Amino acid sequence: MKTWFAIVLAATAVNGALASARVLVEAHRGASFAAPENTLASITAAVGSADLTEFDVRETADGKLVLMHDSTVDRTTNGTGLLASLTLSQVQSLDAGSWFSPAFAGEQAPTMIDAISHALERGITPLIERKAGGASTYHNEFVGAGLAPNDFRLISFDWGFLSGLHALDANYSLGALGSGALDQAVINTAVASGADFLDWSHSGITQATVDLVHANGLELHTWTVNDAGRMQQLIDYGVDGITTDSPEVLQQLAYQANRSVDLNLDGVVNDEDWRLFNATRGTEFNGMSLMDAYALGDLDGDLDNDIADFVIFKELYLAETTSTSFGAQQIAPEPNSLTACLCGLLLLSTTGVRSIGRQWG
């Protein structure tokens, strides 16, 4: 048990470094393709395919923060009128699910704090887009709920808002939303507002843009990308995160891109990585983020370390290291040929990895 906790702590410690090794998958308004946007149901639906769940927040007439994209409640509820003219009680009396499907009848627009808690309990990081409301209102709700600044990320097109929130707590992770030209002057303004990452419209993003942002020590995230070809291009450029309505598509591309079994991120693939992987074989990582699970050997993003992950690990390990001790390090037998064949067919159908059919040797 002590060993397991030590491994989990080690994975958590390298989580930030892993973020730079694999693009973060950010579900737009939750998994809004599978459930009504900006609801607890859409947050739940994003679990397993996204690292972060993005949702929009506005302030009610009685000063409460609630999830809603539009300034009115007309499109996504059975009510009408400006959200800012309604109290929280009035907003939550509305049906925010039936417009999407009868299966979600009675779904409410949750409070920001309930949405954050719901996401964190399920191992997914909240990405809060501030649509309306003052910095002090947000700060007071965060503090009142006992949230740590690193429990979530917050983005806004209003950089003055970011500056105000940064002044209240410099430890918040703040992203400057924007579009259009992204040059040094824009970056300087974003940094002055307290932003530690940029979240930019993907149109116009080039390799040079990514390099410039990274040269300034900032992350570059992009929105909203639903074309798989463009996703792959942005991954190749090295963007740090992509907001999408298709998180499952992006997840598969993300796990295929630059995949490595340097699990402890010491810059070399060796027997230490094998020991880390082997220590959690057969383990499920329910409730853990995709990034932390990857550091423990979940190489295919299904929140466990199973035979499919072993196939991937062995292939990448042998490709990335000159070590000849792989077989000697094994403390459990490799799967038999039938299991390997079935596993290979499964991987071929779900990930398109052509190389899984090669001999296990």
Q: Is the pLDDT of residue 137 over 80?
A: yes
- Residue 112, pLDDT score: 99
Give percent of the chain above pLDDT 90: 70
Catalytic (active site) residue 214:
no
φ, ψ at 152 (rounded to 5°): -155, 170
**Is-contact 9 17, C-beta < 8 A?**
no
Return the number of other C-beta atoms located less than 10 Å from residue 343's C-beta.
20
End-to-end CA distance of the chain: 33
| Per-residue pLDDT reduced to its tens digit, 273-305 | 899 999 999 999 988 877 788 889 998 878 899
pLDDT higher for 229 or 319? Answer: 229
Mean pLDDT across the chain, nearest whole number? 87
CATH number of 23-254: 3.20.20.190
Average pLDDT over residues 35-41: 99
Q: What pLDDT score was predicted for residue 330? A: 52
Neighbours of 203 (CB within 10 A): 10
Mean pLDDT of 250-277: 86
The band of 266, judged by pLDDT with boundaries at 50, 70 and 90, is: confident
User: From residue 27, how far is each of 50, 123, 260, 298 by CA, in Å?
Assistant: 6, 14, 24, 20
Residue 8: Cβ within 10 Å count: 16
Q: What is the pLDDT of residues 66-103, one digit of tens each?
A: 999 999 999 999 999 999 999 999 999 999 999 999 99
**SS3 category, 133:** coil
**Which entry of 28, 118, 166, 202 is annotated as an active-site residue?**
28
What phi and psi, each to the nearest 5 degrees, are found at residue 58? -135, 165
Which pLDDT score is estimated for 86? 99
Element of type H or E holding 323: none
Q: What is the pLDDT of residue 63?
A: 99
Structure confidence at residue 322 (pLDDT): 66
Residue 65: closest CA among 132, 108, 112, 116: 112
Q: Pick the closest to residue 277 from 214, 230, 211, 326 (CA basis).
A: 326
Of 159, 66, 81, give the one whose Cα is nearest residue 113: 66
Indicate the DSSP class of residue 284. B
The better pLDDT of the pair 89, 21 is held by 89
Q: CB of 60 within 8 A of CB of 35?
A: no
Asked if pLDDT for residue 178 goes beyond 80, the answer is yes
pLDDT band of 325, cuts 50, 70, 90: low
Q: Can you read off the two tokens belonging to residue 192?
A: 């002055």
100-138 burial code (b ≥16 CB/10 A, e <16): beeebeebbbbbbbbbbbbbbebbbbbbbbbbbbebebb
* Residue 353 pLDDT greater than 50, yes or no: no
139 a catalytic residue: no
| Sequence spans of domains, the chain | 1-22+258-361, 23-254
Q: Let me know if 359 is exposed, middle or buried by CB neighbors in 10 A (0-12, 13-18, 19+).
A: exposed
- Choice between 317 and 67, residue whose per-residue pLDDT is larger: 67
Q: Is the pLDDT of residue 332 over 50?
A: no
% of the chain at pLDDT higher than 70: 83
Model confidence, pTM = 0.75
3 state SS of 178: strand
Over 70: is that where the pLDDT of 210 sits?
yes
Per-residue confidence (pLDDT) for residue 252, from 0 to 100: 87
Pull the structure tokens for residue 119. 């996401």
Give the tens place of pLDDT for each residue, 216-246: 999 999 999 999 999 999 999 999 999 999 9
Tokens at 59, concatenated: 């302030």
pLDDT band at 320 (very low <50, low <70, confident <90, very high): confident
User: 128 pLDDT exceeds 90?
Assistant: yes
Secondary structure of residue 340 in the 3-state scheme:
helix
User: What are the angstrom distances between the C-alpha of 301 and each of 17, 121, 346?
Assistant: 18, 19, 14
